[in-house]
Amino acid sequence: MPSSHQDSLKNSKKVFHVSEEAGIALFEPRPSPSFFSEITGNVVFGIEERLLHNYLLPRDCPRVTYYRGDKTTEEDREQFFGESKAGFVVIVESGWYERIKGTTLHCYELPGNGFALLDECAGYYISYRAVEPVSVQPVDDIMAELLRRKVELRFTPSLLKIAEAVAKSTLNFSIIRMRNAAV
């Protein structure tokens, strides 16, 4: 592991991993499913609590998530939030509604002190070591959990145009699992 990562492994934030699999006793480092130039080996991914809602969906569910950042323009705020008071928006395809309703997730809290920040906008943290969870909480009602977190959950027949518009905006965003999106 590069020394810059060793120096940055002091993390005081809570870090989580969400899975449809129950009973994970140890998270082993694996190849990253996406390219990040900063990743130099197999890793365990974690997500900070502030953006945990982005992963409170079935793993393969395509989604567009966004929130206002320091550089978000008033025009983008108006276009993408309108009159909404929500701090975060998660948009999924309507075809995933039943699967979301029927899925139980397992939210594992991980010890944050072994993780390094990878992407602040997305809330991604990584560890090059195997990680034992501190605790696990089942999430039986995904939509209720998202609403409890004051996330605006939207459904749409297709994510393609909104994903393109969000990617061109000044919002902070994550576009996840689009390879599974309907055309």
Query: Tokens representing 168?
Result: 């061109």
Domain ranges of the chain: 3-180
Which residues have CB under 8 Å from 87's CB, separation 6+? 67, 68, 150, 151
Q: Quickly tell me which residue has 């560890």 as its tokens.
A: 127
Question: At 127, phi and psi to the nearest 5?
Answer: -135, 140
Which residues have CB under 8 Å from 7's CB, separation 6+? none
Compute the Cα dihedral for 113, 35, 72, 59 and give only its sign.
Answer: negative
Split at pLDDT 50, 70, 90, the class of 1 is: very low
* Residue 32: closest CA among 40, 43, 22: 43
- pLDDT value at 9 more than 80: no
- pLDDT value at 107 more than 90: yes
Task: Record the pTM.
Answer: 0.88
Which residues have CB under 8 Å from 50's CB, separation 6+? 123
